[in-house]
Amino acid sequence: MNLRPLLIAVVLLTTCLVSAVKVRQTLQPPAAAEVSDKLIRNHDRPSNSSLSKSATTPAELLRTKTCIRCDLSGIDLSNMDLSRANFSQTNLARSNLSQTNLINATLQGAQLSAASLKSANLQGADLGKANLTGADLSQAQLLNISLSQANLKDATLKQAELRDANLRNARLEHAHMQSASLYGAILINANLKNADLSGADLRYANLRDADLSGTNLANARLDWAIMPDGTSYQGTTPY
């Protein structure tokens, strides 16, 4: 019996099967483990947003004056002109903003705990709901500022200018406000428990429903101020 044709047929069939398997492997999607590994590697790569945050410098902030929800904790922005800047909900904890120009800046909900704002100019700025726990705002210009619902517990505001400031519902427990100017300031429902307001100017200030328990008002000026019970310190307030 001649086996040669049979062997040739077997060899050809085997070659076809091997080729078919290779083609199938080429067209088949990668295994689940391989896909998972690629996803993990891609996830570990830093996104463009995180790179931009880490690359944020004082020079860049001076140019753009915008960094919303950024992490700028511990940054030194002292003596810079950041007027009308927008740092809403930005983390500026322990930052140095001393003598910085922040006129009409937006810092709503910003984290400024333990920050230095000594002699900074924040006239007309919006710091509503900002956290200024333990911050130093001594001799700062805070004329017509909004600090509504802000947390200023243990903050230092010695000789700060707070004329016409909005401190409605603000937390000022244990705040150091010696000789601060609060002329015409709104302190409705503010918590001033154990705050030091000795020598402060509170003329025409509105303290209705404010908590003054333990507050030091020695030598403070209260001419025509509205007291917590709604009465004026010296009779009817002459508006």
What distance in Å separates the CA atoms of residue 139 and residue 159, rounded to the nearest whole number?
Answer: 5
Residue 101: phi and psi, rounded to 5, are: -90, 110
CA distance 148 to 168: 5
Question: Of 2.160.20.80, 2.30.30.100, 3.40.1010.10, 1.10.10.10, which CATH number belongs to 69-239?
Answer: 2.160.20.80
Q: How confident is the model at residue 56 (pLDDT cuts 50, 70, 90)?
A: confident
Which residue reads 């003054």 in tokens? 212
- pLDDT for 80 beyond 90: yes
Return the residue matching tokens 């199938």. 24
- Please state the pTM of the whole predicted model: 0.76
List the structure tokens of 217. 């008002």
Domains of the chain by residue range: 69-239
pLDDT of amino acid 105: 98
Q: What integer is the mean pLDDT of 72-99?
A: 98
Question: pLDDT tens-digit profile of 173-222?
Answer: 999 999 999 999 999 999 999 999 999 999 999 999 999 999 999 999 99
Confidence of residue 232 (pLDDT cuts 50, 70, 90): confident
Mean residue pLDDT of the chain comes to 84
Determine the Cα–Cα distance for residues 74 and 131; give it in Å rounded to an integer. Answer: 15
Say whether pLDDT at 7 is over 90: no
